[in-house]
Amino acid sequence: MYRLAYQLPLLLLVLLSAPLYAVFETYTFETPEQERIYKKLTEELRCLVCQNQNIAGSNAELAQDLRKKAYEQVKQGKSENEVKTWMVDRYGDFVLYSPPVKGTTMFLWAGPLIFLLIAFVVLWRIGRARRKQTSETQPVDEHSLEQARHMLENKES
């Protein structure tokens, strides 16, 4: 709960400035592949001074600086991973919008598949219970019973 004194005015400034103003560079590339890598990088790297934006969509100075760094490196022929590693070395995993797969993110990446597995187990058990039910005793289908009751009630009124 400790508020950083310097963050609040910065925050307000950023809230008002960040998405409003499209600042973009007119970088040129030697190959379309380089351009593709650059675009992907700017979309997947996080702007650290913004309220959740990538460096492509932010006009904050740091975002502009990082775009420039990414551009310089892509021009030198660096690969997407090399540039990302460079960024992570300085700013940590936080700068990546696609979190790295490591021990601490295992549950994040495996999670959806675990959910799916649980879902299928649940479905299978429901299916098995129903098959067992129909093979053993056939409880009165509640719905048909209710429909009958409803029809009788309507006939009366």
Smallest separation (angstroms) from another protein to the CB of 67: 11
Between CA 73 and CA 115 the distance in angstroms is: 40
For another protein (CB under 8 A), the number of binding residues is 77
Restricting to residues 80-119, name those near another protein by CB under 8 A: 88-99, 104-105, 107-108, 111-112, 115-116, 119
The 3-state secondary structure of 67-115 reads: HHHHHHHHHCCCCHHHHHHHHHHHHCHHHECCCCCCHHHHHHHHHHHHH
Smallest separation (angstroms) from another protein to the CB of 77: 20
Measured from the CB atom, is 75 or 96 closer to another protein? 96
Of these, 37, 46, 71, 83, which contacts another protein (CB under 8 A)? 46
The DSSP symbol for 136 reads S
Interface with another protein, residue 155, by CB under 8 A:
no
Interface with another protein, residue 141, by CB under 8 A:
yes
Of 54, 48, 56, 50, residue with least CA distance to 24: 56
Measured from the CB atom, is 25 or 33 closer to another protein? 25
Can you tell me whether residue 117 is helix, strand or coil? helix
Composition of the chain by helix, strand, coil, percent to 5: 65, 5, 30
Of these, 18, 41, 55, 74, which contacts another protein (CB under 8 A)? 18
Give me the phi and psi of 46, to 5 degrees please: -90, 140
Measured from the CB atom, is 10 or 79 closer to another protein? 10
Smallest separation (angstroms) from another protein to the CB of 79: 17
